[in-house]
Amino acid sequence: MLRTAVYPSFATDLQAPFAVLLTQAKGVSKVFETLFEGRLNYLFELEKMGAYIEFLNPHQALIIGPAKLKGIPISSCDIRAGAAMVIAALIAEGKTEISNINYIDRGYENLSKKLTSLGADIKRV
């Protein structure tokens, strides 16, 4: 179970990127966001990509993996979700188009340039 809480517990800022990685893990993982409303909204985008997610309530969801993610148009809901969507796009097969990248740009300096230098195929349009 991935449960967010105040320091020294698991940081809420890391919840979305880790949840994307959980889509690739074998078995059932529970995500429990204890601090913020709406912080699990990005999971709807992951579902569109092919992730198996069961929403228990607005603060808890089950992620059943592994899931083969497919590239489709998705949206970034906030800074943390933006990073998660980039990770999901890197995992996915096919082309992924992410809208609302202003969140990503605000939170992560030159992210596309850095990932391209590591071999990612990213084009900004």
Residue range 32-84, pLDDT digits in tens: 999 999 999 999 999 999 999 999 999 999 999 999 999 999 999 999 999 99
Please report whether residue 108 resides in a domain.
Answer: yes
Give φ, ψ of 4 to 5 degrees: -85, 150
Task: Report the domain count for the chain.
Answer: 1
Domain CATH code at residue 91:
3.65.10.10
Instruction: Give the pLDDT of residue 125.
Output: 87
Mean pLDDT, to the nearest integer, of 99-103?
96
Q: What percent of the chain has pLDDT over 70?
A: 100
Q: Which domain holds residue 6?
A: 2-117
pTM: 0.94
